[in-house]
Structure 1
Amino acid sequence: MIMEWLFPSQCVCCQTFTSRRTKICEFCLDDFPFFALEQSNLLLRPDIARLMNLPHCDGLIACGWYQGALKVWLSDYKFHRRTHHKAILQQLITHQMQRFCQTSNFSPDLCLIMPLTYRRYFWRGYNQVSQTWRPALENIAPINSCLMRVKQTKPQSELNRRQRRNNIKGAFCVTQSLRGKNVIVVDDVITTGSTMDEAARACLEAGAAKVWAFATALTPLFSK
């Protein structure tokens, strides 16, 4: 209580005073440009279906486009270790996942977090996907670490669509049976869908019944 009085927390959007655990006030959260979830599956949106190459995924959910404030917060945490943005992303993700659970009939059995390459994890020191998504996923389904990277790949951001597919091919394996399970695979940003779809393919080969892609953000066409 004394710390809150000495160092009051403010909404990162409008600067209104909030509790220390709340980084975005309820009014700014209501105004945030989340993807609408009336259909509960973004692959049913023609514009998104054209952008994303996800033939092995049954569904797709994300918070919003990788632009504006969401891009700043995510990239600053991911690439510059500005850890104060982690709580902002956690609040956005939790809010969107609560909406998803209220509108969707999909019932997952397992959550798999997209693994980093060993080199990337070594230099970064953490998996930003795990750090930002874990609080929300714990209320949805058990988190499992059976999705593994078995191939070192070039950064996808340096490649075009065809090169991305070739680069990521065979990069994942699943170390246990997923027979009959509904699986969620989680990543931070989906651009063309090549990485996510290859991870989904590995899950299906391990016996998964359905695979849904969850992401913090989707890259809009003009940013690719």
Structure 2
Amino acid sequence: MVMEWLFPPQCVCCQNFTSNGTKICEFCLIDFPFFALSQNNLLMRPDIARLVNLPHCNGLMACSWYQGALKVWLSEYKFHGKVHHKSVLQQLISHQIQQFCQTSHFVPDLCLIMPLAYRRYFWRGYNQVTQTWMTALKNIAPISSSLKRLRTTKPQSKLNRKQRRTNIKGAFYVAQSLQGKKVVIVDDVITTGSTMDEAAQACIQAGAAEVWAFVTALTPLFSK
């Protein structure tokens, strides 16, 4: 409390002081370029449906495009250990989850976190998806770690669309029955959808009745 009095928190966007220790002030949060969730399911947007290939997913929810400030915050936290970005990402995700819950009729039974390859987890020391999404997910459904990787794959960012599908083929399994359950798979970024769809297929093979993808950001066409 003393530190906050001496050094009041400032908005990472406009630098004005914020309340309740938040990283983005209420005005910048309103102006942030979130995806509008009036349609609830972003796969119903023609521009997004053309960008991502998710035939095993029933729905998609994301915060925004992977560009601008969001790209900086996420990439610096994910690849360079800039942990001070975690709080702002958590605030954005919690805001969008709240909007989704108010507008959507989809209520999941279980949330699955996209597993990080062991080698990447070893060097990074954390799974950025778990770190940024855990707080928001606790409010909507139980969280399970049963989505597993069968093998190590090459980084998808270095591959084209066809190579991504081949690289990730058969890379996941689910270590529990999902019979009849509505599940969410959570990741940070979708570029082509290959990784997410392969994980969704593993969930369906485990008996899931419905699978939705929840992600922090979608990569726009000009960035692919």
Please confirm whether the aligned pair reaches a TM-score higher than 0.5, indicating the same fold.
Answer: yes
Measure how far apart 1:20 and its partner are: 5.5
Give yes or no for the alignment of 1:109 onto 2:109: yes
Cα distance in 2 between the residues matched to 1:42 and 1:129: 20
- Corresponding position of 2:177: 177
The answer as to 2:101 corresponding to 1:70 is: no
Q: Look up the SS of the partner of 1:18 in the other structure.
A: coil
* 8 Å contact kept, 1:8–1:20: no
Q: Distance in 1 between matches of 2:168 and 2:214?
A: 18
Secondary structure of the residue aligned to 1:165 is helix
CA apart distance, 1:19: 3.0
Unaligned runs of 5+ in 2: none
What CA distance in whole angstroms lies between the structure 2 residues aligned with 1:97 and 1:33? Answer: 15
Quote the residue 1:25 is aligned against.
Answer: 25
Output one character per residue of 1:150-187: Cα deviation in whole Å (capped at 9) or x when no partner.
11100000000000000000100000100000000000
Percent of matched pairs sharing the same residue: 78
8 Å Cα contact 1:113/1:185 also seen in 2: yes
Q: How many residues were matched structurally?
A: 224
**Quick check: 1:4–1:20 contact (8 Å CA) kept in 2?**
no
Distance 1:167 1:90 in 2: 30
Q: Which residue is equivalent to 1:8?
A: 8
CA offset digits 1:14-73 (Å, max 9, x no partner): 111113620000000000000000010000000000000000000000000000000000
SS across alignment from 1:170: coil
Q: Which residue of 1 aligns with 2:39?
A: 39
For residues 130 and 103 of structure 1, the distance between their equivalents in structure 2, rounded to whole angstroms, comes to 24
Quote the residue 1:213 is aligned against. 213
- Counterpart CA distance in 2 for 1:208 and 1:44 is 21
Q: Structure 1-normalised TM-score?
A: 0.99
| C-alpha distance in 1 between matches for 2:156 and 2:170 | 14
- Unaligned 5+ segments in structure 1 are none
- Matches of 2:59 and 2:2 in 1, distance apart? 46
Look up the match of 1:80. Answer: 80
CA distance in 2, matches of 1:101, 1:141: 12
Paired residue type of 1:166: T
How do 1:46-65 and structure 2 match up within 5 A?
A: 46-65=46-65
Q: Following the alignment from structure 2 to structure 1, what is the Cα–Cα distance between the partners of residues 171 and 49?
A: 24
- Counterpart for residue 136 of structure 1: 136
Deviations 1:132-155 (A, max 9, x none): 000000001000000000111000
SS of the aligned residue for 1:3 comes to helix
The list of structure 1 runs, each at least 4 consecutive aligned residues, that deviate by more than 4 angstroms after superposition, is none
Secondary structure of 1:50's counterpart equals helix
1:4 offset after TM fit, Å?
Answer: 1.0
Does the 8 Å contact 1:149/1:172 carry over to 2?
yes
Q: Deviations over 1:76-135 (max 9, x none)?
A: 000010000000000000000000000000010000000011101011000000000000
Q: Normalising to structure 2: TM-score of the pair? A: 0.99
**Inter-partner Cα distance in structure 2 for 1:123 and 1:12:** 28
Q: Which residue of 2 aligns with 1:204?
A: 204
